Amino acid sequence: MTHTLLSPLDMHLHLRDEAMLKCVAPLSAQSFSAALVMPNLVPPITTIEALLDYKKRITEAIGNETFEPLMTLFFRSDYTRDFLEKAALHVKALKLYPSGITTNSEGGVATMDIEILRPVLEAMSDLGLILCVHGETNGFVMDREKEFCTIYESLASAFPHLKIVMEHITTKESVALLDKYENLYATITLHHLLITLDDVAGGMLKPHLFCKPIAKGYEDREALLHVSLHAHPKVMFGSDSAPHPIDKKECCGCAAGVFTSPIALQALVELFHKHHALANFQAFVSNNAQVIYAYKPPLKEVVLVKIPYVVPHSYGNVVPMFANETLAWSIERVI
């Protein structure tokens, strides 16, 4: 049994930099046609010069693969309209991080006060730039995304013509917002479709499943599965694949992030096949994103086949999700 995908897209990807970039970028480029690349490097990508330099490093790392890195800027509340007009020639979105809420987000916004953010958000709205948001407060870890829903509502109401992507949603409350506000969209990860907090910490702690936002409960996972398997037109795949070296994961003070890039399509097709939803797979991993971002990706055909695939223990110094386990599907060829 085979299934062919056309131009799969990863609309939330961490490629890091330097040695890590050289390790993980080719793994995404082999099977995806394009990806929205996150800007939270150290220091973050806040200038056009830094952005173009980073894009050049990505292009060099992927070699001859057919793959387009879609670049983003790290949101700052002091950007001018003139700067954003120039940036719009190079980026499709800006990524907003509440300060200190996740990996390398210390330079994020200190307040979500609408009036402070208004000049930048109005300019983005006028220019057709998309606002991507890591939506968590600094409250109790299981409630952070749910608490942020009121902020999403305020943003959606205050800027009705601004497309807002709720990144890597994990709760049923976030899912409910999709049908409440016309300008709210969402990315959903592989790991949040498969795991709950019980898988992370219900028995022995599994550091390679620890991520932010943290995996939630069964009802939340079911809500994510429902909109994904039905390819709700306002959701799209974003892996949030977040590589960290083994020594940063298997340690006290474990870094947050699940590395899924090289096994995402194999695991996703298995999930959609299991739920008799293969007819919706193309929309979830490509077509919806093309509409939301008004983007036409490079053509790439990925042929998946129902033949077991043993996931490697590691890729370089990074351990993937399902390391040493067997998935039911493999990538047969990429055209």
CATH number of the domain within which 326 lies: 3.20.20.140
Q: Confidence band (pLDDT; 50, 70, 90) for 267? A: very high
Question: Quick one: residue 253, left, alpha or beta (phi over 0 = left, psi -120 to 50 = alpha)?
Answer: left
Strands (E), the chain: 2-6, 9-13, 34-37, 68-70, 72-74, 93-96, 130-133, 164-166, 184-188, 235-237, 301-305, 309-310, 326-327, 330-334
Task: Compute how many other C-beta atoms are within 10 angstroms of the C-beta atom of residue 233.
Answer: 14
128-137 confidence digits (pLDDT tens): 999 999 999 9
Average pLDDT over residues 203-228: 97
Question: Catalytic pick from 78, 82, 113, 240?
Answer: 240
Q: Confidence band (pLDDT; 50, 70, 90) for 214? A: very high
241-265 confidence digits (pLDDT tens): 999 999 999 999 999 999 999 999 9
Query: Where is pLDDT greater, at 172 or 108?
Result: 172
Task: Examine residue 207 and say whether the peptide bond preceding it is cis (omega within 30 degrees of 0).
Answer: no
Q: What is the pLDDT of residue 120?
A: 97
Instruction: Judge whether 198 counts as a catalytic residue.
Output: no
Report the chain's mean pLDDT, rounded to a whole number. Answer: 97
Q: What is the pLDDT of residue 91?
A: 98
Residues of the chain with pLDDT > 90, as a percent, come to 95
CA 298 to chain CA centroid, Å, is 19
Q: Give Rg (Cα) of the chain.
A: 19
Structural domains in the chain (count): 1
C-alpha 213/C-alpha 168 separation (Å) is 8
Question: In which domain, by residue range, is 242 found?
Answer: 2-334
pTM, entire model: 0.97
83-137 confidence digits (pLDDT tens): 999 999 999 999 999 887 777 777 788 778 899 999 999 999 999 999 999 999 9
Q: What is the pLDDT of residue 111?
A: 79
